[in-house]
């Protein structure tokens, strides 16, 4: 049996609160964002996310469970056919609550609750623990035999490498010689 919430209920009694949250959830799924009080938005979030989780399952039993909460078949159809595929890759956090200020009449804190339908972008694994896990999950790679090269090809490659390193060494020595030539001239002026 679910534990009842402490403190005053929204509306009057628990049955009225359930009906109010069901109507808010139906409005949220119909319009994809609604403005209500912060308290109602915070109480609506777990109800709506649970219904979306049922919709992601997509089987008949899940549809009947959602129909037990939301009586409108059109809203349930939209939830199962349009909203659930958009959040299929998301593992949770289907709703977002944004505080919007205070209501003019009674100064109640207001908020907008909306569905998060943007596609999920996976964060790169930057921590060391996840990097270690990724290394252990890598499948062993089969070694392929290396291509056979002739002696002439290896000599050409080695000559080209030697020429590049000789040019780099000459550049470095040339820079050092220029710096050495400039250094005594500066010392004489002091």
pLDDT band at 3 (very low <50, low <70, confident <90, very high): confident
- Which contacts qualify for 73-77: CB closer than 8 Å, 24 or more apart? 75/26, 75/29, 75/30
- Picking from 67, 96, 115, the residue at the C-terminal end of a domain is 115
Same domain, 111 and 155: no
**What are the angstrom distances between the C-alpha of 167 and each of 28, 110, 163?**
70, 71, 6
Q: Are residues 99 and 154 in the same domain?
A: no
Looking at the domain assignment, is residue 5 inside a domain?
no
Q: Are 18 and 103 members of one domain?
A: yes
- Is-contact 95 116, C-beta < 8 A? yes
Do 20 and 108 belong to one domain? yes
What is the C-alpha R_g of the chain?
A: 34
Count of domains for the chain: 2
> What is the phi/psi pair of residue 154, to 5°?
-70, -35
- Whether 60 is covered by a domain: the verdict is yes
For residue 88, give the CATH number of its domain.
3.90.1030.10
**Domain identity same for 21 and 93:** yes
Q: Is residue 63 part of a domain?
A: yes
Does residue 88 register a pLDDT over 90?
yes
pLDDT band at 85 (very low <50, low <70, confident <90, very high): very high
pLDDT at 9: 79
Compute the average pLDDT of residues 42-64.
95
> Sign of torsion, CA 68 73 74 80?
positive
- Same-domain pairing of 105 and 169: no
Please indicate, yes or no, whether the overall pTM of this predicted structure exceeds 0.85: no
Residue 85 falls inside a structural domain: yes
Based on the domain organization, do 62 and 153 belong to the same domain? no
DSSP 8-state secondary structure symbol assigned to residue 170: H
The residue range of the domain holding 165 is 148-190
The mean per-residue pLDDT over the stretch 92-97 comes to 94
Same domain assignment for residues 190 and 98: no
Mean pLDDT in residue range 72-98 = 95
Give the pLDDT of residue 2: 72
Domain identity same for 19 and 83: yes
Question: 40 in a domain, yes or no?
Answer: yes
Same domain for 160 and 105? no
Does the residue 176 lie in any domain?
A: yes
Task: Tell whether 21 and 96 lie within a shared domain.
Answer: yes
Spacing of C-alpha 162 from chain mean position: 49
Residues 111 and 153 in one domain: no
Collapsing DSSP states into helix, strand and coil, what is residue 150?
coil
2 in a structural domain: no
Question: Mean pLDDT for the chain?
Answer: 81
Q: Which residue stretches of 32-150 are H helix?
A: 38-57, 60-69, 73-78, 84-86, 128-137
Single residue among 115, 135, 163 that ends a domain in this structure: 115
pLDDT digits (tens, 9 = 90+) for 130-188: 656 666 665 555 666 666 655 555 555 555 556 565 656 566 566 565 555 565 554 45
């Amino acid at each position: 049996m679910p534990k009842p919430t402490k403190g005053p209920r929204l509306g009057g009694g628990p049955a009225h609160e359930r009906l109010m949250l069901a109507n808010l959830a139906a409005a949220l799924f119909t319009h994809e964002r609604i403005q209500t009080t912060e308290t109602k938005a915070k109480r609506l979030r777990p109800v709506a996310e649970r219904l979306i989780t049922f919709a992601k399952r997509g089987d008949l039993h899940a549809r009947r469970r959602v129909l037990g909460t939301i009586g409108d078949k059109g809203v349930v159809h939209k939830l199962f056919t349009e909203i659930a595929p958009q959040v299929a890759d998301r593992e949770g956090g289907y709703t977002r609550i944004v505080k919007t200020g205070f209501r003019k009449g009674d100064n109640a804190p207001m908020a907008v609750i909306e569905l998060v339908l943007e596609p999920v972008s996976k964060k790169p694994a930057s921590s060391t623990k996840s990097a270690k896990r990724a290394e252990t999950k890598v499948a062993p790679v089969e070694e392929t035999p290396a291509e056979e090269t002739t002696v002439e090809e290896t000599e050409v490659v080695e000559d080209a490498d030697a020429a590049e390193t000789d040019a780099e060494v000459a550049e470095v020595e040339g820079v050092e010689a220029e710096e050495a030539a400039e250094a005594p001239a500066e010392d004489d002026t002091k």
